[in-house]
């Protein structure tokens, strides 16, 4: 038998799990035993993520400043709103990681991955902080961007969507009942499929639209690495969902399917409201209609990955996003000849990238 730490604290709270063979991933506790390893795939995801280390200092934003001056007023409005969303998006995800995912996914292998993900979210926050400091030299503009979650309705609506699904699990200390586990699953799916997998993908599409026109290469470079990280965060979360489905298939009933489908519809609407704000009456190659089509296509991919039926039937209208997965990996190889190892095979599914 592997060594165990005490099973209760003085207050009677159980930290260690019940016997290993009876344990499921969502059973309450803080399992410590790594050998024998119950979830080696999560450990491999942690190792793969380490190979993807990058730093904000590697991103050169200088040419972006000259590009910003060339933008039309409509494009400047779009980029201003976009960076305002970036100012808080990853912090919300990091908070949920600590407050919910780390607490309830009871596997030391998975918690290794989540620790690494938390570091990556911190790098993302630092990247966007640096971006805003560079793009917005005026302190008042900067302060307004960081307060966007309070002051700009289209960003506030997205934040409220996130907070709603955080609040729904806030009081859950332990996932005792079936209802508790469903609530947790909805939070997990919300953050992976709707926030990292839809809100962020929408934001990346604007960045790559600029890049396809030869603009804002610094932002695009950092976005390449954030994009890859987010893809892996989402894949990890979906692996957790798959594991729970295997261990507790009765949780995945019609009611859950309906809840997840409704959640994704709501996320598409929130992101569309943001698109209306960003695009106004439309910009060349970017408008609300094409963004709707893109978001619906992405939402269908998320539903399919989760084992549920797609609902929109939309095609991806953005050719610059179809190329994204390949370009990002190519660029990474070109820039990293020897200093870093790169995890590619088995970690990034290019079919799911846009």
Using CB under 5 A, list all residues that contact Fe ion: 90, 121, 124, 196, 230, 233
Known catalytic residue at 128: yes
Q: Which is nearer to Fe ion, 154 or 235 (CB)?
A: 235
* Distance in Å, CB of 17 to Fe ion, minimum: 27
Q: Which is nearer to Fe ion, 161 or 252 (CB)?
A: 161
* Distance in Å, CB of 218 to Fe ion, minimum: 18
58 annotated binding-site participant: no
**DSSP-assigned states of every residue in 9-75:** -TT--B-S-S-GGG--TTSSS-----SS-S-HHHHHHHHHHHHT---GGG---HHHHHHHHHS-HHH
CA distance 284 to 157: 26
262 annotated binding-site participant: no
90 annotated binding-site participant: yes
Beta bridge partners of residue 283, listed in sequence order:
286
196 annotated binding-site participant: yes
Cβ-defined contacts of 114-121 (< 8 Å, 24+)? 116/46, 116/49, 116/50, 117/49, 117/233, 117/236, 118/94, 120/49, 120/229, 120/233, 121/90, 121/91, 121/93, 121/94, 121/97
Q: Which of 43, 128, 201, 208 is catalytic?
A: 128
Q: Which is nearer to Fe ion, 28 or 89 (CB)?
A: 89
Q: Which is nearer to Fe ion, 38 or 124 (CB)?
A: 124
Three-state SS at 352 = helix
248 annotated binding-site participant: no
* Distance in Å, CB of 229 to Fe ion, minimum: 6
* Distance in Å, CB of 236 to Fe ion, minimum: 9
Judged by phi (left if over 0) then psi (alpha if -120 to 50, else beta), residue 346 lies in: left
SS3 content of the chain, % helix, strand, coil (to 5): 70, 0, 30
Residue ranges of the binding site: 90, 121, 124, 196, 230, 233
Positions annotated as catalytic residues are 128
Residue ranges of the binding site for Fe cation: 90, 121, 124, 196, 230, 233
């Amino acid at each position: 038998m592997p060594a165990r730490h005490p099973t209760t604290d003085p207050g009677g709270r159980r930290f260690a799990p019940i016997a290993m063979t009876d344990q499921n991933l969502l059973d309450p506790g803080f399992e410590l035993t790594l050998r024998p390893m119950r979830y080696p795939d999560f450990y491999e995801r942690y190792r793969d993520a380490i190979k993807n280390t990058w730093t904000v200092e590697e991103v050169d934003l200088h040419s972006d400043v000259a590009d910003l001056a060339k933008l039309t007023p409509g494009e400047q409005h779009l980029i201003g709103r976009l960076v305002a969303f970036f100012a808080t998006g990853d912090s919300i995800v990091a908070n949920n990681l600590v407050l919910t995912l780390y607490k309830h996914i009871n596997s030391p292998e998975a918690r290794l991955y989540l620790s690494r993900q938390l570091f990556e979210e911190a790098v993302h926050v630092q990247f966007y902080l640096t971006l805003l400091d560079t793009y917005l030299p005026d302190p008042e503009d900067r302060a307004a961007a960081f307060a966007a979650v309070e002051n700009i309705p289209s960003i506030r609506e997205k934040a409220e969507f996130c907070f709603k699904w955080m609040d729904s699990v806030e009081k859950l200390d332990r996932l005792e009942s079936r209802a508790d586990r469903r609530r947790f699953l909805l939070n997990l799916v919300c953050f992976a499929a709707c926030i990292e997998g839809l809100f962020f993908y929408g934001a990346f599409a604007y960045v790559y639209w600029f890049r396809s026109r030869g603009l804002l290469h610094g932002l695009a470079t950092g976005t390449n690495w954030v994009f890859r990280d987010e893809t892996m965060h989402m894949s990890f979360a979906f692996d957790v969902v798959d594991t729970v489905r295997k261990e507790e298939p009765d949780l995945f009933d019609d009611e859950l399917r309906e809840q997840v489908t409704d959640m994704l519809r709501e996320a598409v609407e929130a992101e569309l409201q943001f698109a209306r704000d960003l695009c106004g009456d439309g910009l060349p190659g970017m408008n609300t209609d094409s963004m709707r089509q893109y978001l619906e296509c992405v939402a269908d991919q998320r539903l399919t990955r989760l084992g549920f039926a797609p609902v929109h039937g939309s095609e991806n209208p953005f050719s610059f996003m179809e190329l994204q997965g390949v370009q990002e990996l190519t660029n990474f190889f070109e820039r990293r000849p020897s200093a870093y190892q790169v995890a590619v095979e088995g970690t990034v599914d290019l079919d799911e990238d846009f």
